[in-house]
Each structure stands twice: as C-alpha cells, then as structure tokens.
Amino acid sequence: MPDRGGGPTGPRMRVGRPSRRVRTLLMTLGVLAVLGMAFTMFAGFWTDWLWYRSVNYSSVFTTTLWTKIGLFFVFGLLMALAVGFNIWLAHRLRPPLSAMSMEQQNLDRYRMSIAPYKKWLLLGITALVGLIAGASASGQWRTWLMWVNGVPFGEKDPQFNLDVSFYAFDLPWYRFLLGFGFAAAILSVIAAALTHYLYGGLRVTSPGARATAAATGHLSVLIGIFVALKAVAYWLDRYGLAVKSSDFRATDNWTGLRYVDANAYLPAKTILFCIAVICALLFFATIWRRTWQLPVIGFGLMVLSAILIGGLYPAIVQKFQVQPNEQAKEAPYVEKNLEATRQAYGIDGTKVTDYSGTSKTEDKTTLRDEVPATASIRIMDPNIVSPTFQQLQQIRNYYAFPTNLDVDRYPKDGKDQDTVLGLREINLAGIPKKNWINNHFRYTHGYGVVAAEGTSADAQGRPNFTESDLPSKGDLGTYEQRVYYGEKTTTYSIVGGPQKEIDYSDDNGEKTTSYKGDSGVDLSNPVNRAAYAVAFGEPQILYSGAIGDGSRILYNRTPKERVEAVAPWLTIDGDAYPAVVNGRIQWIVDAYTTTNGYPYSSRTTLGDTTADSLTATNDNRAVVAQQNQVNYIRNSVKATVDAYSGKVKLYQWDTKDPVLKTWMKAFPDTVEPKGAISKDLMDHLRYPQDLFKVQRELLTRYHVKDATTFLSGSEVWQVPDDPTNRSGSAVPPYYLSMKMPDQQAQAFSLTTTFTPNGRDNLSAFMAVDAEAGAGDYGKIRILKLPTNTTVNGPKQVQSQFNSQEDIAESIRLLRGGDSEVEYGNLLTVPLDGGLLYVEPVYVRGGGLKYPLLRKVLVTYGGQTAFENTLDEALNKVFGADGPTTEPPDKGDTTPPPTSDNPTVQQALEDAQKAFDAGQEALKKNDWEAYGKAQKDLEDALRRAEDAQSEASRSGGAGGGESKPGGKPSGSPSGSPSPKPSS
C-alpha cells in the first residue's frame, strides 16, 4: 500500500544504540555515583570510629558494632532460610500436571514468564526479607547484651518465686525470639501458600480438591508451628502478668498481678497453653491424615476458649467477685505492689515523721538566733541571676552563661558555703564577624568560672562574687580556665593547627593561644579530612589552608552528649554542673540504670515525671532517656567530662546495682570503681535532681505503707505548681544547706514540698541528704503535717505576699516606670515546729536589663516582712528588732478610714523624687548617682511602711490620700492606685 504518512519514501531510519563514548560516560557516572554513596557510608562509619578512639572508648564502639552485625546476619539469615526454604519446598511439592481450567490457564502465563528467573526471584525475595529481619534484630542489641550478661538481683517476685533478673533480662529476650518466630511463621505461610497457588497446589475455582495432599501437609505443619508458638506465648504471658501495666483505681501505672489476674487470667493462660499444644499436635498430625477437619475444629476451639476463658471469665470475676468487696480482695496484691515499688525506686528507707506545722515557742524573738544554725538561706536564685552574671561578668559579647546557673559548695573561711556559679562559655552569636574561620577556628572556647555567695548580695543588690573577672580570680585558686567543652558548645571547632585562636582580651588587647590538649581527631591525614568533609557537609575541611599539622577537630562537645555516646546504656540526668576539681574544671553528670521489668513495681514516665517549671523554659534540662517508661531506677554512675580535654570518666557509684553489673560485664573496663573517686571530686558530688523528682512523684502515693489507705486515696499528695511564675509546671526542687528536726547540724540537701491532691495547703515537706561524702547521703526525710489543721502551702504563701497591702504598695513602687519585678525561689525551712518561708525579690529597672536583689520576703507563724535584706526581714518577723508586721484582719470587711497622714505622705513624695532621680541617672549612665537614688528610694519606702504600720495600729490610714478615680498622692507616675485594705 502507498505510504500515507507524508514522510520521506526512502529507507526507514533505524534507532541506533548509544555511541561508545556515551556508554562510557554513563558507565563512569554510574560508577562514580556508587563510589560516592559507598564513601558517604564509609565516612559515617570512619568518623564514628575515630571519635570513639579519641575518647578511649573504642571498645564501646566495637562491642556495639559487632553485636549489631552478629544479630543482623544471624536473624537475617534465619529469616531468609525460613522463607526461602518454604518457597523452595512448595515449588518442589507442586503437582506434575495442572487441571485444565480457566484459572490454571491464566496462571500458566505467570509461570512461564517467571520460569527463566526463578532462581533470581527466590534469591531476591529471601534477601529482602532477610535484610528487613536483620535490620530489626540489630536494634535489639541492648536486649541481647542484657540477656547474655545478666546478673541475678538476689530478689524474687512474690508470685512465681523467680529472680527479678528473669523479668529484667530474660523475659524481654524471650519475647523478641517469640516475635521473630511469629514473623517467620507468618511470612513462611504466606510465601508457601502463594507458591502452591501459583503452581496448582492450591485451587480456588478449578474442579477437584482445593488443595493437594502435599500442599495440605506443608501448610498444616507451618500453621502448627504458628500455633505451637502461640502456646509458648500463653506460657510466657503467665510471667508477663507480673510486669503488666494497667489502670487501677489508686494509680494510673499500676504494675503486677491483681486479684483478677491471679485468680482468672493466670489459670486461663495455663488452660489456653494446654489447648494450643493440643491444637498444634492436630495440625502436625495432618501430615498423615491429609485432612484439615480436626485441626480446624481444634483451632476454632482455641479461638473460642481465648474469648470465653481469656476474656469473658475474668470480666465476670471482676464484676461479681472483686467489685463488691474490692478492698478486701485487692489488699494482698496492693501490699506486694507497695513493697516492690518502694524497693525499685529506692524509697523504701524513707523516714516519715509527724510535724505540727506551728511553733510552740511563745516568745518568737528567741527563735531569731536559731535561723542561721538551721539553714544557710540562699537569696541568690541561680534561675534568676544569670542575666546579672551576664551583664557584670560577660566581659565580651562572645561569652555567655547558661540560662540556669548551678549551686555547689566551696570552702569559705574554713566552712563550706552554698555558692552560685556558672562557666563563661563561648557564644558564637556574639562574635564580631561571622564566617567559617571565625566560627570554627578563632572563637573556640570559653574562659573561666564566675561564682558568687549564695546567701548574700552587695548594697546594690548584685551578687557578692567570690570568683570573677577575666581571667577569673578569687577563692578558687589556680586552675585551667579554658572551656572547650560545655553546655553551650554545640558546634565543632578545629584547633591546634596553623590558625591561632582567640584566648581572651584584657587591657593590653586580645591574647591568642593554640590548643595543647590531645582531645579530638587528628586532621593531618587526608582520608580523615575527606571523611569529615563528607560527614559534616563542609567541603572546606578538605582543602582549607587553615588546617595543617597538629590540627584537631573537636565535636560532640556538650557533657551530656559525650556521656551518652560513650555509655549508650545509661539514662542521663538533665542537669550537668561544673566544679573546679584538682586544678581542672570538670563537668559532673549523673547517670542512671533503668529497667521496666521489675515485677509488681509501678511504672513512671521519665519525660513527664522530671518536668518542672525550669524544663518548661529550658530544653537543655530535659532528661536524656534511654528508656522513657521505667519501673526501676538507680543513680549507678557518676561521670565527669573535663572542660579542657573533653576526657570522659565513668565511676561506679551504686556498687550493688545488678543492672550496672550487667552492663559492666557487657562493656568491661569502661567504668572505674568507686574507690577511684578523688576526695576533691567527692566534695562536689551531690544527689541528682531527676532521681529526686522521680522519687517525689512516687512518694505522692507511696508514702503510705498499708493497702487500705492506699486504696482509699485519702492520703494522695501532689507536687505543687511553681507559684513564682506562670508556667503552670511543677515547682523545681531546691538545693539548700539546712538542718531537719532530727539532725544535729546543717547538711547540703535537696528539698521540695507537697500539697493535698486538689488543694493548696501544705501536706508535707521532703528533703534528702545530698552531700555525697556524708554518712546519711541519700536518706529521704518527710515531715508530714496534720490533716486536721491547715498550714499554708507555697501558692497560699505567695498569695499572702501579693495581697498584703503594704507589701503590694512597695511592689507597685518597685514596678514604677519600665521596671519589672521577678520573684526568686520560694524556700521552705522547718523551724521549731513551724515553717519559715523566704523569697528574694529582684527588680529589672530602667536601663538595667538584668535583675538586682531589692527585697526579701519572709513569713513565719503568721508574721510577714518585706525588707531590704534577709537579716532585716528576719528581725522584723521574729520581733528581734522593731515592730512586726501585723497580718490583715480577715474578719473585718469594713475598709479603714482614709486620712492624710503627713508622715506617710512625705515618705511617698520622697520615694517619688528618689525614683525620678534614679531614672535620670540611668539616662546619663551615672551609676554613682543611680546607686545613691536607689538608697534614698529604699529609705523612703521603709519610712512609709513604718509610718503605715503605726497609723494602722492607731486606727489611721495605712497610706496616702486615696481619691476615687485618682492615684494616691506621692505614688510614682504611672503606678496603679492602691486599693483599700479589707
């Protein structure tokens, strides 16, 4: 036929193969892509190995790596063999001839299409399932190491009389094996069934039998293996009841057997185990019987039994036996839970003592002298004064202090003193010019410790520094001040090479240095440089001239990050803190061993339990959880990270902890014995905050020891919200040197308060001895207040502070202009049967963008004082010097008469003048004039308060003239009008 395409009528054009050059180019690009991917994978592996070798923990890397590789290949190979063998067997058992039907004719096309590729298809399927199974198994390296190295606890559970190690180390591994077995059986059944169907062993629409005898026998064995594994699962479930979590009336994370578990679920699991074994044998018998009738009946019986025996029967027992008499039925199991939970969390030695909450001493003036001996009251709040440290001791913009400072003890005049301190760390956001060289070569480290007395402030409300300036000098003596590793050091630095680093600046200009330590990884090797260029995505590392002989790269530089890397089996406390130890700055990191397999011990969620008002505003204080839900925890390891060299040391702290002993067997020579802790380091170790927060949360319920009270819920406490801010989160625990009623001298302690569930009055005060070297270290004491009287809790005390008229007026004056008032930590101190509350009050005023201590609030026995210093406030509260502040009479709702009191009026006018003078001095940066104005303001406010108290006692007005719609005469411009007291 003629060509109707309209195109040329000559020979047809042939589409040729790509030219040899193109093929070569494509092949080269493909090889380069493969090599690039291979080198990227190699770079990650190689840089990890180099880092672990640089910190002398290469054994952790190799042990973890080889464990993962071993699990990957063993279980990947087992899964591949299981699935591959059953595909091969199903193919081998195929019928010689297929029935002539439309179904088989359609399948013939698939059989013919895959016939040339059967071996490759089999290899591909087995390799895929093997890779997936191997990758999943490698993630169980912790489970394997704990099982193979498990150490006995020496404690047995009350139900099955098995050592706790069975639940903590063995049962998790058995469950993994069981899960792997289920996966292998299910995949094998699916693969075998599809192969039988493809080759005619199973038929859906073809005439004749639906399955050949060979297919029936093969699939029956596989299903029998699945049912046998189900029998094993039923048997393990019996032991799983001891660590099973459930919601219970008294607690949301109840763990262990209850009445219905012991008397319904436990026998049900045993019966179901027996039924499953019989059912599995029926499936295996199909090899000879060649019929599915009995196995199917048996399988249906097992399913029906699971519904009736495993579900309906326990529900009936719960409804008709437990609920009508719950306390009597559940009491024995609650007692087991109480004992196990208290033991697992280390709160079994808690000493609970009744405490009246009110002082019995009539003459309160005699108590004034007891206060210094009872507590070293810290008025420098480490969570408030960081901006003050920043402003007064930053020195250069490229330094910074942490948001929350730390509290430690250092000797002063022969006595240990609570000290607030922080490190002057590098702050890349403040460097003069940002570029790659500045960010990573020149500005590499911070410099020095800044410390201040915790119990005092200077005349201007600033910290009394005991270590300050740059380089730092003071009470801490001589030490290595350079900080290459810290909480704010989150990027890498390259040091020790041709490029000099900024050390610090003084009156003679910038000083430079070059890192002399052996930390980090050597970059003189071109392979190392190439690996880090790929791993960090920074090609300049490969060719930069700033890198040469001696250059080393420092990374993983935060203390928590380093400890977590060298000990991935530990849970890291959220608050690492620095200390000067033996002439070095050491970061001290508390670490925990945990498990969720302690029988009968209730579980807690670490992320929620350790949250408070500080973690809500500072993510760096969050716990680094290796297991988030746990029911056993020990502070088993104290770790240190050298701020200059980055050297990490792990010390065994809890010598009895079986979980730590297990990990020490798995990773030998990584944890040093407790005896290796030096005396200087021991002086700075303390009880960790996150463990304390976990224990206090448990003690809200588990401070009771009898099942009846626990079940009634009448003694449930709660951790109060922080009343000093609006975060809505729990009040943080506070470190404080203090003396509990049964102690002879002050001890460095960690303290907290409790309130009744749903109420604001105080129900208990809790303290733990936090000084590591003390004999009572870790001893928890609780002062339990009576339930028939009401003692003000933190929120009520804060409200009392805010509502008292003379205090409210003073605070309004402090807030004049653009000033802000910040409340510090509300400290609670038991004293002579009563409770002394102390709260520092800070002001950020005018051009000052950092808080200064201006007032101290103190209350005791219904008396409240708001004075310039702690001593003045204590004197006023205890009547040791001057009149006490009378609380408002809540029964009298008649507003007091208003009148012009010339003394109050004059004092307020003087306060306004002093305030205006201070603002004017700020504009001129005249700090001497500002200080004088602040002193005049304080004197005027004190005269106003004294005059107001005198006027109140004589029936006169408490303040200046109050006019409807106006402000009181003498109050600073812009401040709100005071309301009449009621």
pLDDT tens sequence across 129-186: 999 999 999 999 999 999 999 999 999 999 999 999 999 999 999 999 999 999 999 9
Q: Report residue 440 CA to chain centroid gap.
A: 30
With vertex at residue 383, the alpha carbon angle to CA 806 and CA 482, rounded to the nearest 5 degrees, is 145
Rg of the chain over CA atoms, in angstroms?
A: 37
Reply yes or no on whether the pLDDT at 462 is more than 60.
Answer: yes
Least confident of 41-45, 106-110, 233-237, 672-676: 106-110
The whole-number pLDDT of residue 913 equals 77
Give the phi and the psi of residue 30 in degrees, each rounded to 5: -65, -45
Least confident of 93-97, 457-461, 832-836, 957-961: 957-961
Q: Is the pTM of this model over 0.75?
A: yes
The confidence band for 701, taking pLDDT boundaries of 50, 70 and 90, is: very high
Reply yes or no on whether the pLDDT at 897 is more than 80.
Answer: no
With vertex at residue 722, the alpha carbon angle to CA 719 and CA 727, rounded to the nearest 5 degrees, is 115
- The predicted-structure confidence for 738-780, as pLDDT tens digits, reads as follows 999 999 899 999 999 999 988 888 999 999 999 998 889 999 9
The confidence band for 13, taking pLDDT boundaries of 50, 70 and 90, is: very low
> 798 CB contacts (<8 Å, ≥6 apart)?
723, 724, 823, 826, 839
Give the phi and the psi of residue 483 in degrees, each rounded to 5: -115, 95
Spatial contact of 838 and 854, defined as CB atoms under 8 Å apart: no
- Dihedral angle at the C-alpha atoms of 615, 619, 622, 626, nearest 10 degrees? 160
Q: Which residues are paired to 782 by β-bridges?
A: 352, 766
Q: Tokens for 404?
A: 């929350």
Contacts 24+ apart (CB under 8 A), 863-867: 863/364, 863/887, 864/800, 864/801, 864/804, 864/807, 866/801, 866/804, 866/806, 866/807, 866/810, 866/841, 866/945, 867/942
The larger pLDDT score, comparing residue 292 to residue 676, is at 676
Spatial contact of 726 and 800, defined as CB atoms under 8 Å apart: no
Q: Tokens for 896?
A: 């007091």
Q: Tokens for 962?
A: 């109050």
Reply yes or no on whether the pLDDT at 939 is more than 60.
Answer: yes
Reply yes or no on whether the pLDDT at 486 is more than 90.
Answer: yes
What is the β-pairing status of strands 780-784 and 351-354? parallel
The whole-number pLDDT of residue 923 equals 63
The larger pLDDT score, comparing residue 929 to residue 8, is at 929
Spatial contact of 501 and 513, defined as CB atoms under 8 Å apart: yes
The whole-number pLDDT of residue 972 equals 35
The whole-number pLDDT of residue 251 equals 60
- What percentage of residues in the chain have a pLDDT greater than 90? 53
- Rounded to the nearest integer, the mean pLDDT of the chain is 85
> 245 CB contacts (<8 Å, ≥6 apart)?
253, 254, 255, 602, 603
Q: Please state, as a whole number, how many other Cβ atoms lie within 10 Å of the Cβ of residue 318.
A: 18
Task: Tell which residue, 511, 542, 545, 549, has the closest CA to residue 528.
Answer: 542
Task: Tell which residue, 573, 570, 541, 569, has the closest CA to residue 555.
Answer: 541
User: Cα separation of 967 and 974, whole Å?
Assistant: 9
Helix/strand/coil (H/E/C) assignment for every residue in 901-948: CHHHHHHHHHHHHHHHHHHHHHHCCCHHHHHHHHHHHHHHHHHHHHHH
CA distance from start to end of the chain: 114
The whole-number pLDDT of residue 814 equals 82
The whole-number pLDDT of residue 982 equals 28
Range 375-394 average pLDDT? 91
Task: Tell which residue, 629, 592, 720, has the closest CA to residue 245.
Answer: 629
User: Cα separation of 146 and 659, whole Å?
Assistant: 8
The whole-number pLDDT of residue 12 equals 45
User: Cα separation of 147 and 168, whole Å?
Assistant: 9
User: Cα separation of 352 and 356, whole Å?
Assistant: 13
153-177 b/e with 16+ CB inside 10 Å = b? beeebbbeeebbbbbbbbbbbbebb
User: Cα separation of 951 and 905, whole Å?
Assistant: 12
Spatial contact of 580 and 421, defined as CB atoms under 8 Å apart: no
The whole-number pLDDT of residue 885 equals 35
> 220 CB contacts (<8 Å, ≥6 apart)?
283, 284, 286, 287, 292, 295
The larger pLDDT score, comparing residue 97 to residue 38, is at 38
The owner of tokens 């005699």 is 366
With vertex at residue 84, the alpha carbon angle to CA 83 and CA 90, rounded to the nearest 5 degrees, is 90
The confidence band for 35, taking pLDDT boundaries of 50, 70 and 90, is: confident
Residues shown for the chain: 982
Spatial contact of 636 and 660, defined as CB atoms under 8 Å apart: yes
The single-letter DSSP state of residue 417 is: E
Least confident of 509-518, 537-546, 820-829, 840-849: 840-849
The confidence band for 216, taking pLDDT boundaries of 50, 70 and 90, is: confident
Helix or strand run (H / E) with residue 340: helix 326-344
What is the β-pairing status of strands 473-474 and 446-447? unpaired
Please spell the DSSP secondary structure of 689-710, one letter per residue: HHHHHHHHHHHHHHT--SHHHH
Spatial contact of 636 and 674, defined as CB atoms under 8 Å apart: no
Q: Report residue 801 CA to chain centroid gap.
A: 33
Range 418-436 average pLDDT? 92
User: Cα separation of 611 and 629, whole Å?
Assistant: 14
- The predicted-structure confidence for 853-889, as pLDDT tens digits, reads as follows 989 999 998 888 899 999 999 999 988 764 333 333 3
> 8 CB contacts (<8 Å, ≥6 apart)?
none
The confidence band for 98, taking pLDDT boundaries of 50, 70 and 90, is: low
Q: Please state, as a whole number, how many other Cβ atoms lie within 10 Å of the Cβ of residue 97.
A: 8
The larger pLDDT score, comparing residue 958 to residue 736, is at 736
The confidence band for 926, taking pLDDT boundaries of 50, 70 and 90, is: low
Task: Tell which residue, 464, 487, 462, has the closest CA to residue 572.
Answer: 487
The larger pLDDT score, comparing residue 943 to residue 901, is at 943
Type of residue found at 238? R
Q: Tokens for 355?
A: 């405490």
Reply yes or no on whether the pLDDT at 72 is more than 60.
Answer: yes
Reply yes or no on whether the pLDDT at 257 is more than 60.
Answer: yes
- The predicted-structure confidence for 390-399, as pLDDT tens digits, reads as follows 999 988 889 9
The confidence band for 211, taking pLDDT boundaries of 50, 70 and 90, is: confident
The whole-number pLDDT of residue 302 equals 85
Task: Tell which residue, 804, 801, 809, has the closest CA to residue 969.
Answer: 809
User: Cα separation of 757 and 653, whole Å?
Assistant: 35
The larger pLDDT score, comparing residue 432 to residue 238, is at 238
Reply yes or no on whether the pLDDT at 189 is more than 90.
Answer: yes
- From residue 10, give the alpha-carbon distance in Å to each of 3, 6, 13, 443, 583: 11, 12, 9, 75, 94
- The predicted-structure confidence for 402-426, as pLDDT tens digits, reads as follows 999 999 999 888 888 899 999 999 9
> Would you call the peptide bond into 324 cis, given omega within 30 degrees of 0 as the criterion?
no
- From residue 384, give the alpha-carbon distance in Å to each of 140, 379, 414, 681: 44, 10, 28, 27
- The predicted-structure confidence for 560-572, as pLDDT tens digits, reads as follows 999 999 999 999 9
- The predicted-structure confidence for 675-689, as pLDDT tens digits, reads as follows 999 999 999 999 999
- What percentage of residues in the chain have a pLDDT greater than 70? 88
The whole-number pLDDT of residue 846 equals 65
Range 656-661 average pLDDT? 96
Reply yes or no on whether the pLDDT at 658 is more than 90.
Answer: yes
The whole-number pLDDT of residue 896 equals 37
Instruction: Return the axis-axis angle of helices 559-566 and 20-54, rounded to nearest 10°.
Output: 100
With vertex at residue 206, the alpha carbon angle to CA 202 and CA 211, rounded to the nearest 5 degrees, is 25
